[in-house]
């Protein structure tokens, strides 16, 4: 176990390295942090920290930098989450209050999180398994194309463009009215079951077109919004190219894979009741993210737990990042519950 003085030295090293992105020396620590001991004593403490694997050095004569193990100890025992300021909290509320539907909520959330943390923000769409269908609209775009619009009670809007040669306005009206009779107030799962017999209500001439529209509606209903992840702030990664070294390309590629991001968020939000999970470097199971850190919080909605957070270099400002992720997750959860 490290004594308090060595923990203070480690905290100072992490703080300075995150701030300057330069290896930290003993003399600089004494001068900047008022450690009240000599540089020689700090050097001895740094030697112990290095022997225990909490810090390392790139060159013999260079200063020291934290390791993944050092960041982990910092996050678990030393760091104090910085509360957001009043203006920051008001800015979050003002920014989020203008949201009009689920897509807008998610888009605003990841943009805001990326702006506040200067990292890559990721957010899983809310689970809306208990939402119901509010309305379905069929819009004729041309003589050959129709737009299907489905709106749910959670505010989600799904659209599909369908090739439907030879349709008439009269047929679209009949289909629209009948579909709304079947769908309104139903959950997606209930609606799928009820649509099975719709095609048989139409004569041989209209049946193929009714079948095409029904297939388009079923395709929308089968789409699980919670299987989507929104990403924002990817250009922020370019500021850390020297720190990520040659690993930025795998990270960029992984950020484009929805399945990878869902697994990343799912693993993190499944780790117990804590409202924040921090994965540092090699702790990330996906090798593409092992040069990064992940800070994630679960947020609650009407269908369960989804996740949001940030991906960035291991030298990120953990206290500020953790505060931002926690605050925005809590606000989004309340916003969805009240909506």
Which CATH number fits the domain that encloses residue 164?
Answer: 3.30.390.60
106 and 241 in a common domain: yes
For residue 270, name the pLDDT band (cuts at 50, 70, 90). Answer: low
32-44 pLDDT tens trace: 888 889 989 999 9
pLDDT of residue 126: 81
Q: CA-CA distance, 336 to 139, in Å (whole number)? A: 29
112 in the same domain as 27? no
Shared domain check, 327 and 243: yes
Whether residues 240 and 332 share a domain: the answer is yes
- Say if CB 63 and CB 72 are below 8 A apart: no
pLDDT top residue among 332 and 131: 332
Handedness of CA 251, 254, 258, 259 (dihedral sign): negative
CATH number of 67's domain:
1.10.10.10
- In angstroms, the CA 240 to CA 245 distance is 8
Range of the domain at 154: 133-225
Residue 234 sits in the same domain as residue 121: yes
pTM: 0.72
Torsion of CA 51, 56, 59, 64, to 10 degrees: -110
According to the 3-state scheme, what is the secondary structure of the chain?
CCCHHHHHHHHHHHHHHHHHCCCECHHHHHHHHCCCCCHHHHHHHHHHHHHCCCEEECCCCCCEEECHHHHHHHHHHHCCCCCCCHHHHHHHHHHHHCCCCHHHHHHHHHHHHHHHHCCEEEEECCCCCCCCEEEEEEEECCCCEEEEEEEECCCCEEEEEEECCCCCHHHHHHHHHHHHHHHCCCCHHHHHHHHHHCHHHCCCCCHHHHHHHHHHHHHHHCCCHHHCEEEECHHHHHHHHHHHHHHHHHHHHHCCCHHHHHHHHHHHHCCCCCCCEEEEHHHCCCHHHCCEEEEEEEEEECCEEEEEEEEEECCCCHHHHHHHHHHHHHHHHHHHHHC
Q: What is the pLDDT of residues 217-242, one digit of tens each?
A: 988 887 766 667 899 999 988 776 56
* Of 179, 198, 225, the domain-final residue: 225
As a whole number of angstroms, the distance between CA 337 and CA 321 comes to 24
In Å, how far are 35, 260, 289 from 43, measured between CA atoms? 12, 42, 32
3: pLDDT strictly greater than 60: yes
Q: What is the CATH number of the domain that holds 324?
A: 3.30.450.40
Looking at the structure, tell me whether residues 236 and 114 fall in a common domain: yes
Tokens of 236: 């922020």
Of 176, 202, 225, the residue that ends a domain is: 225
Give residue 249's pLDDT band: very low, low, confident or very high (50, 70, 90): confident
Residues 107 and 252 in one domain: yes
Same domain? For 164 and 176 the reply is yes
Determine what percent of the chain is predicted with pLDDT higher than 70: 91
In total, how many domains does the chain have?
3
Q: Given this model, what pLDDT does residue 273 score?
A: 46
- Residue 189's pLDDT is 67
> Cα(209)–Cα(220) distance, rounded to whole angstroms?
17
70, 55 in Cβ contact below 8 A? Answer: yes
Same domain, 108 and 232: yes
Same domain for 34 and 171? no
- pLDDT of residue 150 exceeding 50, the answer is yes
Q: Are residues 148 and 196 in the same domain?
A: yes
Q: How far apart are CA 334 and CA 77, in angstroms?
A: 29
Q: Of 178, 201, 225, which residue is a domain's last?
A: 225
Same domain, 115 and 241: yes
pLDDT on residue 41: 93
């Amino acid at each position: 176990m490290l004594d308090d003085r060595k923990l203070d030295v480690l905290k100072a090293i992490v703080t300075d390295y995150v701030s300057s992105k330069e290896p930290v020396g003993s003399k600089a620590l004494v001068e900047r942090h008022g450690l009240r001991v000599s540089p020689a004593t700090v050097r001895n403490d740094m030697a112990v920290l290095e022997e225990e694997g909490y810090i390392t050095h790139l060159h013999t004569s260079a200063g020291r930098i934290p390791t993944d193990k050092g960041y982990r100890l910092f996050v678990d025992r030393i760091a104090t989450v910085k509360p957001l300021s009043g203006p920051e909290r008001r800015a979050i509320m003002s920014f989020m209050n203008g949201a009009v539907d689920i897509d807008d909520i998610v888009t605003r959330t990841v943009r805001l999180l990326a702006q506040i943390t200067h990292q890559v923000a990721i957010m899983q769409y809310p689970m809306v398994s208990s939402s119901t269908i509010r309305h379905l609209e069929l819009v004729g775009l041309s003589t050959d194309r129709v737009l299907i619009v489905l709106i749910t009670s959670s505010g989600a809007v799904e659209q599909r463009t369908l090739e439907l040669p030879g349709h008439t306005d009269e047929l679209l009206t009949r289909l629209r009215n009948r579909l709304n009779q079947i769908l309104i107030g139903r959950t997606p799962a209930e609606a799928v079951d009820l649509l099975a017999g719709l095609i048989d209500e139409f004569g041989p001439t209209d049946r193929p077109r009714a079948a095409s529209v029904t297939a388009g509606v079923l395709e929308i209903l089968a789409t699980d919004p919670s299987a989507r992840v929104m990403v924002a702030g990817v250009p922020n990664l370019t500021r850390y190219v020297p720190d990520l070294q040659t690993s930025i390309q795998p990270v960029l590629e992984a950020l484009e894979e929805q399945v990878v991001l869902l697994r990343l968020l799912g693993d993190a939000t499944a780790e117990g009741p804590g409202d924040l999970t921090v994965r540092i470097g090699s702790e990330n199971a996906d090798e593409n993210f092992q040069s990064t850190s992940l800070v994630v919080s679960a947020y609650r909605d009407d269908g369960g737990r989804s996740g949001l957070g940030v991906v960035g270099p291991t030298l990120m400002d953990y206290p500020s990042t953790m505060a931002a992720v926690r605050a925005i997750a809590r606000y989004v959860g309340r916003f969805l519950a009240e909506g």
